[in-house]
Structure 1
Amino acid sequence: MRFVVFNQKGGVGKSTITCNLAAISAQQGLRTLVVDLDPQGNSTRYLLGAGADEDRDTAAEFFDQTLKFTLRNQDTDEFITATPFEHLDLLPSSPKLEELHSKLESRYKIYKLRDALDALGARYDRIYIDTPPALNFYTRSALIAAQGCLIPFDCDDFSRRALYALLESVQEIQADHNKALKVTGIVVNQFQPRANLPQQLVQELIDEGLPVLQPYLSASVKIKESHQRALPMVHLDARHKLTQEYLALHAALQPAPARRKAAR
């Protein structure tokens, strides 16, 4: 299963959600890949820590290869690096993705990521794709390559207003390029249950029939420590309330047969 984590608004927790769900998949024995398409590289730094600064092939080199004719192209797995966590690999980001954007868009390389992930075959059980805070070439590539779309929502009125345009964008990609793409759900992030506004905004989404996922992810300063130490929550503090919420959210994303099997 391939999930893209997408929102055009920055600061809503795309990288945090991507890496924490991926870490849980890997810890549960699923062969897992994170694809970091955001030039800021937050997922890359979250999973590699100081190792993110090492010289290695990245998503930029992968996409740059598609612009050139060579007698031998590198296989997709040659751009992938192992993380310190068992069963969890990464296609790292690079600031060079920004420089390549206009060339890739003008040469219409929009299907290259999908083809590359297809070429990996059955190597991975779960793939999570982190995207930039914009509907650009990289985000469209991710939406075309994915089967499920997770939309972070940070309980902000601006985010609520942006949701409708965002859902229209996903529907357009679905109609024109990827009929298999589904909106898996809206991930409520940084939720404060004792505050009136978050409760009101989330309830409005539910009342409108939007696919709001349970459970909601609590606001917690612990996530900042998780970022600083480059340890997803399941590795930093397995008993923490936020970790338990991520575990429950991960379970909710599993196919129905897998959920029934886990319940037994």
Structure 2
Amino acid sequence: MIRVLFNKKGGVGKSSLAVNLAAISASKGYKTLLLDLDTQCNATSYLNAQTEVQDDTIAGLFEQTITFHIRRRPADEFAVATSIDNLSIIPGSTRLSEIESELDSRHKIYKLREALDAVRDKFDRIYIDTPPALNFYSLSALIAADSVLIPIDCDDFAIQGLFSLQQHIAEIREDHNEKLQIEGIIANQYLSNAKLPNRIIETLLDEGHPVLPVYVTQSVKMRESHQEKKPLLQLAPKHKLTQCLLDIHEYLEQEGIGHL
């Protein structure tokens, strides 16, 4: 099962959600892999998984597809263990931006899918954190994935960009990956007693958008977990925000396509 966290808008919590959902998945006994495809490497930093050996990052996984004199290593050989049992990560790299144009010009857009298909039997769940743009890497992730989760922050810009985003995903499904499904829209930074978030969610639901029924509340605890480099399940297992994320994971496993 491969899930992608994607939105073309930055600052909507993709990395935070990817790390925390992957950590919860691992805590439930699923052997879980997280890929960091964002050149900002936020997911990698969050899990304190930086490496100085660039060949052992996601850039190395891609770069070997354009270097023919070396042995191609399977994706699981790029994965490093984290402090969480059952959770590994393929660390991000700023070098992704340097090799993107060559990968694109040499039509390597399906190489991530090939790499992950080859290790599906080694992981129960794979999560992919993507850059805030529809570029080579986010497209590679969507081509490789079974489903996409779309985080939004609860402001008017969320509605403005959502229709075009869903259109892009529909085109990718038609042209590249017929099994790709939008598993849900995750409302992030939600304030229950504020009028704007509730109005936005009501509008999205009225228009038929698949907003998940659990909303991620706004809390300073998320920033604290970034600073401590610990997912919320480790830092504050009984916190309300942690419970929101646990509820989202449970919903996805029971009601989404995660049970397939």
TM-score (norm 1): 0.94
Q: Does 1:14 align with 2:14?
A: yes
Query: For 1:17 and 1:257, how far apart are their aligned partners in 2?
Result: 16
Identity %: 50
Query: For 1:37 and 1:26, how far apart are their aligned partners in 2?
Result: 20
1:126-174 CA distances to partner (integer Å, 9 max, x unpaired)? 1000000000000000000000100001001112100011000100000
1:15-45 CA distances to partner (integer Å, 9 max, x unpaired)? 0000000000001110000010000000001
- Alignment correspondent of 2:62: 63
Give the total of aligned pairs.
258
- Alignment correspondent of 1:221: 220
Q: 1:29/1:52 Cα in 2 relative to 1: closer, same or farther (>3 Å)?
A: same
DSSP-derived class of the 1:52 partner: coil
Asked whether the 8 Å contact 2:5–2:148 carries over to 1, the reply is yes
- Alignment correspondent of 1:85: 84
Query: For 2:177 and 2:99, how far apart are their aligned partners in 1?
Result: 24
Instruction: Summarize the alignment of residues 103-142 of structure 1 with structure 2, pairs less than 5 Å apart.
Output: 103-142=102-141
- Alignment correspondent of 2:46: 46
Instruction: Summarize the alignment of residues 18-29 of structure 1 with structure 2, pairs less than 5 Å apart.
Output: 18-29=18-29
TM-score (norm 2): 0.96
Query: For 1:18 and 1:228, how far apart are their aligned partners in 2?
Result: 16
Pairwise CA RMSD: 1.6
Unaligned runs of 5+ in 1: none
Query: For 1:109 and 1:171, how far apart are their aligned partners in 2?
Result: 21
Given residue 150 of structure 1, which amino acid in structure 2 is its aligned partner?
A: L
Higher mean C-alpha displacement, 75-84 vs 7-16: 75-84
Aligned-pair CA distance for 1:259: 9.6
Query: For 1:237 and 1:121, how far apart are their aligned partners in 2?
Result: 31
Given residue 88 of structure 2, which amino acid in structure 1 is its aligned partner?
A: D
Q: 1:197/1:257 Cα in 2 relative to 1: closer, same or farther (>3 Å)?
A: closer
Unaligned runs of 5+ in 2: none
- Alignment correspondent of 2:174: 175
DSSP-derived class of the 1:149 partner: strand
Instruction: Summarize the alignment of residues 104-253 of structure 1 with structure 2, pairs less than 5 Å apart.
Output: 104-253=103-252
Deviating 4+ runs (over 3 angstroms): 53-56, 255-260
